[in-house]
């Protein structure tokens, strides 16, 4: 008999040790992947090893190779933390091990998924009848929404992708902002749509409404998809939704919005203006593992036309046969999948409407403090209007900025990311973790001051 408890008890103790270490440990890992590999048993063992020993061995080997991503001083990329309620429930998800594709097999998850879908649409101010597919992340959320978009715009042109494929079809024209996230291009590639047409963006990275209108005007008759953005990874800026969506709809286009981290601005009364008019779009992609702080991996593919999503993703989803309840697997690319709605429900249940708003507002306040602190550093310059959670800064010329990025990594107090934006080397700060405190921001600013002074 294999003892289940010993391994779980060790995992519990080790998880708590890890979480407790976050406040003090340096953010970057101490070892690279070769270094960690050297700590692992190389040969595939012939025989069994006790579960608790396996857990201990892995944790001991990996600890120096772990990055303090869930900690309050990780400001790189756009990386969410993990809310305690979501983490606790995520453990149950693994223990319960439900394959949540079908309603009758896992009624518990289906009930929670339906409820969470309704809560999310309410919280985000999106049409209440929309479908929410629980996918692995923003990339797959973009893919899932754009699959529904592709099939629907071609269907309206009299072409059935499911039966006829893409060869010989009228084709699809895809218009995107010059500063869309690269995963839009990736999703379009997966979908056989090729590279999109880029429309000019302004100095904050927002698509220019006039340029989009002109591009739509110059249409060649092909069915069209327009991809907008809620939250630019460098500036945090939001596209002007009202005018762009109206123009796109006038031209008969499907409008998709990539709001991987920005969609939750709509959950805060103080930030909601950034998303004004976005509810008129046809689909919205977001991550639960970023702003909402559930563990990886969880993204949300939201589509206004449930039937279109089901036609694209369902195994038996004839477009005209529409059962209001539907199957969870009809909204996502996977058949088998874990109970992804459980941790999303948990964080919404734990925070409530006001708590989610406070979470978002807290990120924004910290980002504001970062911008003010950076502006006060000699030679530093904040490059974006800080409207949300992102701060983009330069510390002189490109070499000087890169040196600050490197010095920050070497220092280890906080993690920030180097990038290029609008032709310049930049240092980027993203605040996306519930546990970040004012003291964390101050410590990171002190480190930035030290790095810049070198
Ligand atoms: C992170 C991000 C994505 C991709 O999301 P993943 O969860 O990493 O797949 C897409 N768009 C934007 C704007 C993002 O910030």
pLDDT band for position 2 (50/70/90)?
A: confident
Closest ligand 1 atom to residue 139 Cα is 9
CA distances (Å), 449 to each of 204, 296, 398, 405, 445, in order? Answer: 25, 32, 17, 12, 6
Dig out the tokens for 303 from the structure. Answer: 């589509």
Q: Is 433 in the pocket of ligand 1 (CB under 6 A)?
A: no
Q: Which of 76, 133, 183 for mutating ligand 1's site (highest number of atoms within 8 Å of CB)?
A: 183
| Atom 5 in ligand 1: residue holding the nearest Cα | 138
Residue 38 counted as domain residue = yes
Q: Which of 140, 181, 232, 275 for mutating ligand 1's site (highest number of atoms within 8 Å of CB)?
A: 181
pLDDT band for position 430 (50/70/90)?
A: very high
d(CA 433, ligand 1 centre) in Å:
16
- The pLDDT score that the predictor gives to residue 316 is 63
Residue 398 counted as domain residue = yes
d(CA 286, ligand 1 centre) in Å:
8
Residue 121 counted as domain residue = yes
Residue 73 counted as domain residue = no
How much is the average pLDDT of 283-304?
Answer: 98
Residues 58 and 117 in one domain: no
Residues 133 and 206 in one domain: yes
Residues 263 and 339 in one domain: yes
Residue 244 counted as domain residue = yes
Residue 331 CA to residue 176 CA, distance in Å, equals 24
Residue 387 half-sphere exposure, CB side, CA atoms within 13 Å?
Answer: 22
Residue 190 CA to residue 187 CA, distance in Å, equals 5
Residues 342 and 372 in one domain: no
Average pLDDT, the chain: 96
How much is the average pLDDT of 326-346?
Answer: 94
Q: Which of 258, 286, 295 for mutating ligand 1's site (highest number of atoms within 8 Å of CB)?
A: 258
Residue 78 counted as domain residue = no
Residues 229 and 246 in one domain: yes
Residues 227 and 187 in one domain: yes
Residue at a domain's end among 328, 346, 364: 346
Residues 327 and 247 in one domain: yes
Q: How many domains does the chain have?
A: 3
Residues 423 and 317 in one domain: no
Portion of the chain with pLDDT greater than 90, in percent: 94
Q: Is 260 in the pocket of ligand 1 (CB under 6 A)?
A: yes
- First-to-last alpha carbon distance for the chain, in angstroms, is 60
DSSP designation for 201: B
Residue 422 counted as domain residue = yes
d(CA 345, ligand 1 centre) in Å:
21
d(CA 334, ligand 1 centre) in Å:
19
How much is the average pLDDT of 94-119?
Answer: 95
Residues 197 and 280 in one domain: yes
Residue at a domain's end among 315, 346, 377: 346
Residue 151 has pLDDT above 90, yes or no: yes
Give me the helix-helix angle, 138-156 and 306-313, nearest 10°: 100
d(CA 288, ligand 1 centre) in Å:
11
Q: Is 173 helix (H, G, I), strand (E, B) or coil?
A: strand
- The pLDDT score that the predictor gives to residue 324 is 60
DSSP lists the bridge partners of residue 254 as 225
| Atom 6 in ligand 1: residue holding the nearest Cα | 138
Find the CATH number of the domain harbouring 429.
Answer: 3.90.1150.10
Closest ligand 1 atom to residue 232 Cα is 13
Cα-Cα-Cα-Cα dihedral sign, residues 175, 177, 183, 185: positive
Residue at a domain's end among 316, 346, 376: 346
Closest CA to 128 of 140, 114, 139: 114
- The pLDDT score that the predictor gives to residue 446 is 98
Find the CATH number of the domain harbouring 338.
Answer: 3.40.640.10
Closest ligand 1 atom to residue 287 Cα is 7
Residues 377 and 239 in one domain: no
DSSP designation for 274: G
b/e map 151-177, b = 16+ CB within 10 Å: bbbbbeeebebeeeeeeebebbbbbbb
d(CA 318, ligand 1 centre) in Å:
30
Residue 81 counted as domain residue = no
Residues 178 and 288 in one domain: yes
Range of the domain at 382: 353-453
* Prediction pTM value: 0.97
Residues 342 and 357 in one domain: no
List CB contacts of 360: < 8 A, sequence separation 6 or more: 264, 265, 267, 268, 271, 291
d(CA 77, ligand 1 centre) in Å:
10
């Amino acid at each position: 008999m294999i003892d289940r408890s010993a391994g779980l008890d060790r995992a519990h103790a080790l998880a708590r040790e890890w979480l407790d270490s976050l406040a003090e440990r340096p953010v970057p890992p101490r070892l690279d992947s070769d270094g960690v590999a050297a700590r692992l048993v190389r040969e595939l063992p012939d025989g069994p090893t006790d579960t608790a020993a396996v857990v201990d061995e892995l944790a001991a080997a990996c600890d120096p190779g772990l990055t303090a991503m869930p900690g309050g001083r990780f400001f790189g990329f756009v990386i969410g933390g993990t809310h305690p309620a979501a983490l606790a429930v995520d453990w149950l998800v693994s223990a319960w091990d439900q394959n949540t594709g079908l309603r009758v097999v896992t009624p518990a998850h289906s009930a929670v998924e339906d409820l969470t879908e309704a809560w999310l649409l309410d919280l985000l101010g999106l049409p209440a009848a929309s479908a929410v597919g629980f996918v692995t992340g923003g990339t797959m959320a973009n893919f899932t929404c754009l699959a529904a978009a592709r099939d629907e715009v071609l269907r309206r042109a009299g072409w059935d992708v499911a039966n006829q494929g893409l060869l010989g079809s009228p084709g699809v024209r895809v218009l995107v902002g010059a500063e869309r996230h690269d995963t839009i291009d990736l999703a379009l590639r997966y979908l056989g749509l090729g590279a999109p047409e880029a429309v000019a963006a302004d100095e904050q990275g927002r698509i220019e409404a006039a340029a989009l209108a002109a591009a739509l005007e110059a249409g060649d008759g092909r069915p069209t998809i327009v991809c907008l953005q809620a939250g630019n990874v460098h500036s945090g800026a939001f596209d002007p939704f009202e005018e762009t969506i109206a123009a796109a709809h006038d031209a008969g286009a499907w409008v998709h919005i990539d709001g991987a981290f920005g969609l939750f601005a709509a959950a805060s009364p103080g930030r909601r203006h950034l998303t004004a008019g976005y509810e008129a779009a046809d689909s919205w992609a977001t991550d639960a593992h970023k702003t909402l702080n559930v563990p990886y991996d969880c993204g949300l593919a939201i589509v206004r036309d449930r039937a279109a999503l089901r036609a694209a993703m369902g195994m038996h989803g004839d477009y005209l046969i529409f059962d209001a309840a539907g199957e969870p697997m009809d909204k996502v690319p996977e058949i088998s999948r874990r109970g992804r709605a459980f941790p999303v429900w948990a964080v919404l249940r734990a925070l409530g409407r006001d708590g989610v708003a406070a979470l978002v507002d807290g990120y924004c306040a910290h980002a504001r403090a970062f911008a003010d602190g950076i502006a006060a550093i000699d030679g530093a310059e904040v490059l974006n209007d800080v409207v949300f959670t992102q701060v983009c800064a330069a510390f002189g010329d490109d070499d000087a900025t890169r040196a600050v990025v490197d010095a920050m990594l070497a220092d280890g107090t906080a993690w920030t990311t180097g990038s290029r934006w609008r032709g310049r080397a930049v240092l980027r700060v993203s605040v996306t973790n519930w546990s970040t405190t004012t003291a964390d921001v101050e410590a990171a600013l002190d480190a930035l001051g030290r790095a810049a002074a070198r």
